[in-house]
Amino acid sequence: MKTYLRSLFLLFFLLLGLVNCTNESATSTPKKDKKRIAFSEEFKDLLVFEEYVKKIDENKQLEKIRSLFYTDSEGNTNEASAWLDANMNIVKIKQVENLTSGKKYERTFYFCDGFKTVSQQIISRYELKKPYFTEHRSYYSTNGSVIATFQRYDKQEDLSLVALSVGEKQDCPHHVALDLIKRTGEFETRFRGFDEAFGRNFLVLGTENQSTTLAFNVESPLLKQLTSNENLYKNKCLDVEFSPITEPNGFTFQALVNLSFAKNEKR
């Protein structure tokens, strides 16, 4: 009984927080409404979660930042984008993971007052002869537990035409997406060396499991320092600023804008 009452209290607290976040979110001119979940009486309290998601998605005042584009030893890629409010709090993260097998994961997370409130995971099975698409949408209480999960499946890529139904509760972890944005864990920007490709010079950063490359034209004093003794600076953590570039022929790469040693890194 105590556990049940505690769960009700946590849910009430989160719903109250979501209402406050919804009221505080700045919005632009409303877009045409997309098909949303028709909640049953049992899950009617989850409507406030969807209202909050809609506010975040339509808020043009949020600042968008991008992670670096990472590749692992098998060729799988990972990247993410985050949206920040005026107080520099993350309110949304979208992570895209592409596997060499042809499988694609798109994960979107929504946060309110630091709590994960909604997650959406869309899996595209392009490796199959007949591609197949699935979506799981979960709602969370303030203690991180899943309140409910809704799901849909189809052979068409546009899953918005398919009705969502209640499924088994399913958590979608967001720590990898957060590591991508913050460049922590496997996505630290440690010096790995240099590479040449497509007539360009690239700085290689990352860890043993994940790496990213940044093109540069002119050697800065720090780049010269690194090239003069690669072994000495191997695995040193670096801070980077970059700009994603897409050329007219469709070729994309990351251009190095600024480079420095991380503040806590020993020279």
Structural contact between residues 182 and 162, judged by C-beta atoms closer than 8 angstroms: no
Quick: pLDDT tens for 136-164.
999 999 999 999 999 999 888 788 888 88
Q: Is the pLDDT of residue 30 over 90?
A: no
**What was the pLDDT predicted at 41?**
81
Helix axis angle for 2-24 and 47-58, nearest 10°, is 30
Distance CA 191, CA 239 (A): 10
With a cut of 50, say whether residue 62 has pLDDT above it. yes
Name which residue leads in pLDDT, 49 or 17.
49
Q: Where are the domains of the chain?
A: 1-181, 188-261
Going 58 to 62 to 68 to 72, the CA torsion angle's sign is negative
pLDDT band at 219 (very low <50, low <70, confident <90, very high): confident
Provide the mean pLDDT of the chain: 87
How confident is the model at residue 264, as a pLDDT? Answer: 76
Q: Residue 71: which of 172, 163, 209, 183 has the closest Cα? A: 209
CA distance 156 to 144: 32
pLDDT of residue 33: 47
The band of 2, judged by pLDDT with boundaries at 50, 70 and 90, is very low
Yes or no: say if 90 and 83 are a contact pair by the CB < 8 Å rule.
Answer: yes
Percent residues over pLDDT 70 in the chain: 85
Least confident of 39-53, 108-122, 173-187, 231-245: 39-53
| 10 band by pLDDT with thresholds 50, 70 and 90 | very low
Six token digits for residue 125: 């099975």
User: Which of 9-18, 172-181, 216-225 has the highest average model confidence (pLDDT)?
Assistant: 172-181
What lies within 8 Å, CB to CB, of 202 at 6+ separation is 194, 195, 196, 213, 214, 215, 216
Read off the pLDDT band of 40 (50, 70, 90). Answer: confident
Higher-scoring residue by pLDDT: 256, 20: 256
Query: What is the pLDDT at residue 23?
Result: 57
Contacts of 62 (CB under 8 A, 6+ apart): 56, 83, 84, 85, 91, 92
CA separation for the pair 80, 177 (Å, rounded): 6
CATH classification for the domain delimited by 188-261, as one of 1.20.120, 1.10.3470, 2.40.160, 2.40.50: 2.40.50
- What is the structure's pLDDT at 159? 81
